Structure 1
Amino acid sequence: MANLFDPLEVRGVRLRNRIVMPPIATERATPRGEVTDWHLAHYEAIATDGPGLLIVEHTYIRRDGRVSDRQLGVYDDALIPGLARLAQTIKAAGAAACLQITHAGARTTRDLIGAQPVSAWTLPVPGDPETPRALRREEIQQLARDYAEAARRAQAAGFDAVEIHGAHGYLLGQFVSPLTNRRTDDYGGSLENRLRFPCEVIRAVREAIGRDLLVLYRFGADDLTPGGITADDAERIAPILAGAGVDILDVSGGLGGSGRDRFTEQGYFVLLAARVRRAAGIPTIGVGNVRDPEYADRVIRDGLVDLIAVGRAQLADPDWVAKARRLLASRE
C-alpha cells in the first residue's frame, strides 16, 4: 500500500509525493490580475522540498468573473509571461504546477465588475447579497470557450495541469446545485441536465490542451445546505465528470462556503472523497484542515484517497512537508 511520500504518476505527470498544496487565495495580484514578485517568493517557499502537486490559487477566466480587484487572472494572453514565471518557479523547486481556473458567476458584485453578475438562474448563492441574471444559451457556449482559452494560456505558460473550479458556489457549481438552478431548458431540471454545462467546459478544456496536461476538477460534492447536492448525489455525479475527461477529482463541499465552518476535525471531507473515488474510479484528493503528518499518512495507507491536501498548515509553516518526512521516517 502506498504511503504519504510515495510518488504518484497520473497520465505521464509524476508527483514526487502524495501531498497537495490546495488553491488558497492571497489577493496579491495587480489590478489587472498580473503575477507579482510576491507570488514568486510565496509559491517558491512552499514548493521547495514541499508538496508533490501545488495548485495555484483561483484565476479568473473573464473580467466579469473575478471576486476581488487583486485576484490573479488568466483572461488575456498578455498575462502568460507572468504566469510562465510562476510555473517555472514552482517546477524548478520540484513540485508539479497546476493552475485553478474559475468564473465567480453570482459570487461577484455589481460594484466590482460594473454589471449585474450572471448565473444559471436568477437566484443568489445562499449567503451572498447579489441577485444575478440568468445566462442565455449563447452566453453559456461562449463561457465554455472562455474556459478553454484560459486552459490554453495555462498550457502556454508551462503548467502541468489545470483545475476547473466547480465548488464553493462558483459558476459551475451554481449550475449543478438545485438551490441555484431552476432553468427549464436542457441546462436545468434533471441532474444530468444541470451537469451539462460543467461537462461542456471539461470537454472544451480537454480539446484545447490535448492529452499533455492533467485536468483536475474541484468538486463540490455536498452543498451542506438543505435541498442542495448531497453525498449520494456526488456518487452519481463523479463518474459523469470522469467520463467527460477529468483526471483527478479534488473533493470539497459547501455552497458559497456554507457549512464548512461547523467542522473542526481533520480531514472532514476525506470520507466523502473516498466515496467519490469508489464511484468515479479515478484518483481523488482529500481535504479538510489536515495538519498532522501521521493522519495524512494513514489516509493514504488506508487507500481512502490518492492525494491529501494540506493548506493552512503549509501556509503557517512552508517547511511542513520536510518536517513531516523526518517525523514519519523516525517512526519507522
Structure 2
Amino acid sequence: MSKKQNTLEKYLKPEVKEKNIHSNESAESSTRPTKKVKKDETNKTLKIPESLFFEKREGTVKLASWNVSGLNAALKKGFKTYVEAEDADILCIQETKVNEKVNDVVDSKKYKYRWWGFDEKKGYAGIAVFSKIEPISTSFGLPTHPNPESTKGRIITLEFESLYYVACYVPNAGDKLARLKEKIVWDEVMEKYLRQLDEKKPVIWAGDLNVAHKTIDLAKPNTNQKTPGFTPEEREDFERILNGGKSKFIDTWRHFHPNTEGQYTYYSYRFKCYSKNIGWRLDYHVVSERILDKVIESEIRSNVYGASDHVPIVLVLKDL
C-alpha cells in the first residue's frame, strides 16, 4: 500500500449495496424539521474507499462536483481527504453557506484559479470553483434572471476555448412548495441562458440541480409527487431544458446507466437513509449533445459520504 493510501486508511469504507427502497424524504435542508432527531452514524467523518486512489488517465480532464452542505462543517469531516483522493482538474462545490472566501480549502499550487460566489443572505447557498486550467473568462450569476444580483451565489460560468462550464446550485422549491413559482421562473431563465451559451459553444452544466428527473431517480416516487425536487412542474421543466430546443442536452450519468436503480447523490442524515440506500439523485453533469463523444465516464462517488448529505459526482472528458 502506498504512503498516501496508508495515511488515509482510516477513511476506508466498503461499498453500499444497491437496493430498490422507497422513501418520502425531502430533498432540501430547508424542508427538514427543526426538532432534534437521531442522525445517521455516517454524519461524523468522511469514509473514502481505497479504489478511489487511482492514477488519472493520461490525456483526459476530470471534473468533480459536490454539494458540501456547509463548507466549514465539511472541512472538519474530511473534505480535503476527498479533494486529494479525487485530484480533479476542475472542482465545483455548492451550498458552501459562507459569505467570504475560506483559506486553504484546496492546494493553491495545484488549483491556481479559484472563484467564489456568495448569496445575499448570510449562511445561505454559495458556490465555488477551483481549477488547474485557466479559462478565457469567468462570469457570476444568471444574467437572464429578473433579479440577476440574487443569483451570484448560485452560478459561476467558465469559458474555455471549446466550451462553457456552468457550475450551478439551483434553488429549492421550498417547504410546502412556497417557492415553486420562483423555481419555475428560475427554470425558464436557466434554459434561456444555457441555450444562449450553446449557440456559441457547447456547454457543461454541473452541480446540484435540485430535481429528480425520473421516477428511477429517487427511492420513493409514489409518495413524493408534491415534494420539492419531484413536482410535475419541476420535472417537466427539466425535461424541456434537456429536450425542448433545437439542440439537446444530455444527462450524462443516466446516459451511461440507463436502467440503473438505487444510485443516488443525496441522502438525508435522518433515519439512517444512507445505510438503507434511501436517497435522491439531484446532482448532474449535463452536456450539449454534440460533445457527448468527448465524455469517457460519468460517475457517482457513492462511497464518499459523511462530510455532507450529498456525495460527489465526476465527469471524465477526452479534453476541453
* Structure with the higher fraction of residues in helix conformation: 1
TM-score, structure 2 as length reference: 0.39
Higher relative CO (CA 8 A, sep ≥ 6), structure 1 or 2?
Answer: 2
TM-score, structure 1 as length reference: 0.38
